[in-house]
Amino acid sequence: METKPPVPRAILVGIQVPSVDDVAHTASIEELGRLVKTLGYEIVGTMSQKRDGIGGGTVLGKGRLEELAAITGGTGVVGSMAIPQKSKARERFEGAAEKKPDAPQIEPDPEVPPKPEFVIVDHEISPSQARNFERATGAQVLDRTGVIVEIFHRHAHSREAKLQVEIARLKYVSPRLRESSAGGGRQQGAGAGESDLELDRRKIRDRLAELKEQLEDIQRDNDQRRLARGDQLRVALVGYTNAGKSSLMRALTGSEVLVADKLFATLDTTVRALQPQTKPRVLVSDTVGFIKKLPHDLVASFRSTLAEALEASLLLFVVDASDPTYESQLEVSRNVLREIGPEVVPSRLLLNKIDRVSEADRAALRAKHPDAILLSAKSPEDVAALRETIIAFFEAAMVEDQLVLPYAKQGLLGDVYENARVLSEDYGTTGRIMKVRGLPGAIARLRRTLAAS
């Protein structure tokens, strides 16, 4: 019978700086806990400390560091990275001691739970801080960025997402490489005197260049596809991770997109047609979710994916109205979009999961956000009303016009029906006369296509 591997145990560490209040600090720690659980780790404790900043060499103060080390089985002392020099006689003595067959074996006490193997810090810390933490605690240290990068690595499925995540992962790993315990004495490679560490970093630089080239090829193809959809009606769902975007996408389009109560359950942008289909059809895209302290390299890597949102005609900001920190989450979403492009896209605020909100709180939300749409992705009536709102938005920008489809070009009839709503048809001496309604840009493109030889 196969035994399951033990679940990694982790303890969370947070620093509350003066600019962060208790509610925001608690929410950040809880969110880190959900991230860590998404990795499949068991959280065995949380440690927090108020400090002026996290710029110190060990992040925590001396007393708190010793408390943490007592939990993880470390010494609580950073110590030195220097490798002690040993005489040959000393090495022979220690080698002989290791070979003694009668050394007593200490069996672990089954009643005592194992020590946490991971310390997870709710901030981005420097490589030197991580090394100091590891030497003091005897545990493996990950910061918030490392956790998010690892989740992205596990959840990337498309080739584009995998390339994007590997780029961000290598950028994260490169400055955290360290010399081997042997001191990195082996020297080889293209440069004279190139150490193991230098060689590894050069390999990473070469790999990054290769990945960026592959990603640029994919993004060129994506740009062409987006350009081809330029005259189509496009809506983008954007918002904080786990706000319910995928559930809403599924309800609006009938697509079998993954819906899971996990942070970053999906990374790939999904584009589907609004159902029941309209004429012209409306495309709905579900983009990667945002999160506080999202690593800059990940934002940069997913720039192409998020461009889908900026090129939409309408942005729907999806917010979990039942979350007490929903306003800060909304601000995170807006800030990320500002970071990737200055374009101004019309938007509506969707306060989702309203079924989890009391009537009194609903009234407060309506008063605070009078233009917002309150809904639940689980309610067919709410989803149908949202669909009508989307259609009405595009209807307001549409115009009516008349097109003549020459009899020799009847093969373009499908293109007309795809990009405009045909209100009536008649037949003249030169071709089919159609009264249509659609966006000005789409009708102008159709007119050019029909006039071309």
pLDDT band at residue 387 under the 50/70/90 scheme: very high
Place of tokens 């800059």: 296
* pLDDT tens digit sequence for 3-24: 677 889 999 999 999 998 898 8
Report residue 55's pLDDT band, with 50, 70 and 90 as the boundaries: confident
H or E stretch including 171? helix 159-173
> Which helix (DSSP H) or strand (DSSP E) does residue 438 occupy?
strand 431-438
Phi first, then psi: what are they for 319, rounded to 5°? Answer: -130, 140
Does position 102 have pLDDT exceeding 90, yes or no?
A: no
Average pLDDT over residues 251-260: 72
Residue 297 has pLDDT above 80, yes or no: no
The predicted structure's pLDDT at residue 293: 78
Please give the pLDDT value at position 235.
92
pLDDT tier at 45, thresholds 50, 70, 90: very high
Of the candidate ranges 240-254, 255-269, 367-381, the one whose mean pLDDT is the lowest: 255-269
Q: Lowest-confidence range among 8-17, 257-266, 352-361, 384-393?
A: 257-266
pLDDT for res 103: 44
pLDDT tens by residue, 354-380 = 999 999 999 999 999 999 999 999 999
pTM above the 0.95 mark? no
Calculate the alpha carbon distances from 452 to 389, 395, 440 in Å. 36, 28, 18
- For the chain, give the mean pLDDT: 82
pLDDT at position 140 is 92
User: The tokens of 12 are what?
Assistant: 């969370």
Pick from 28-42, 226-240, 296-310, 411-425: least confident: 296-310
Closest CA to 415 of 254, 281, 266: 281
Mean pLDDT across 257-265: 55
- Please tell me the predicted confidence (pLDDT) of residue 185: 45
Cβ neighbors of 28 (< 8 A, separation 6 or more) are 14, 20, 122, 292
Model confidence at 440: pLDDT above 50: yes
Per the DSSP assignment, residues forming a β-bridge with 290 are 240
Between these two residues, 93 and 226, which has the higher pLDDT value? 226
CB neighbourhood size of 112 (10 A): 7
pLDDT beyond 80 at 121: yes
Between the alpha carbon of residue 337 and those of residues 223, 224, 304, 308, 319, the distances in Å are: 18, 22, 12, 11, 15
Between the alpha carbon of residue 235 and those of residues 72, 265, 381, 417, the distances in Å are 49, 21, 20, 20
- Peptide linkage before 440 cis (omega within 30 of 0): no
Chain segment 145-190, per-residue pLDDT in tens: 899 888 888 877 778 878 888 888 898 888 888 654 444 444 444 5
Write down the pLDDT at residue 174: 86
Report the percent of the chain where pLDDT is more than 90.
36
Radius of gyration of the chain (CA): 29
* Choice between 94 and 157, residue whose per-residue pLDDT is larger: 157
